[in-house]
A and B are shown apart, each in its own frame.
Chain A
Amino acid sequence: DAGVTQSPTHLIKTRGQQVTLRCSPKSGHDTVSWYQQALGQGPQFIFQYYEEEERQRGNFPDRFSGHQFPNYSSELNVNALLLGDSALYLCASSRGGGTTEAFFGQGTRLTVV
């Protein structure tokens, strides 16, 4: 049983560019959440998708957007990249609309130069 998978694992982008990160949830999971983890910090909640809709959003600007597909996979898009967007982006999946334990993927390391 594959766990949560994210792609790509590493990415380097230039300031001002746009990036799309992808996540496939664990089998049987229908809820996907995205987190940003800066070096030496705990993950910070970006948003959660359930039934293809954004259900809750953290304190992130509109440059951060997402999507959930009918197969429950999800994308995180970041526009107009800033140097401060450099971080590990984590996807977590869970069942039942997020009421059960959340399992994380290995993350995408984004570096903005």
Chain B
Amino acid sequence: GESVGLHLPTLSVQEGDNSIINCAYSNSASDYFIWYKQESGKGPQFIIDIRSNMDKRQGQRVTVLLNKTVKHLSLQIAATQPGDSAVYFCAEKGGSNYKLTFGKGTLLTVNP
């Protein structure tokens, strides 16, 4: 069945370091992936997305990498800041599905 999971439930980094958050998915029909950031008490905030016809996409301080061969997705955050502290979710959609399927999330803590 469909599932999206994260390798690490928590990640602690020093301010200024680069962060890498990983995600595995199992649905080979998935063709669209999104990373969300969720701060405490708030709804998920769209960070960046990528379609399956790409393997890399860059935004402001963030890069998403997609490896369809091993069904792996990663989010790289450059020069991590305290404001980046949050739970990060990857989500996927594909095939005949209109829904987004989320993993459990990774808690990123940035130490000053």
Contact = CB atoms under 8 A, between A and B. Distances in A.
B34 A90 contact: no
Contacts of B103: 42
Given A102-B46, A104-B36, A106-B43, A56 B97 contact: yes
B43 A104 contact: yes
A43 B4 CA distance: 12
B99 A42 contact: no
Contacts of B44: 43, 90, 104
Given A101-B34, A102-B34, A104-B36, A48 B45 contact: no
A56 B98 contact: yes
Interface residues of B, number: 20
B42 interface: yes
B100 A45 contact: yes
B25 interface: no
Given A104-B44, A105-B43, A107-B43, A45 B49 contact: no
Contact of B42 (A33, A55, A101, A106): A106
Given A44-B102, A55-B98, 4 more contacts: A33-B99, A42-B105, A101-B46, A106-B42
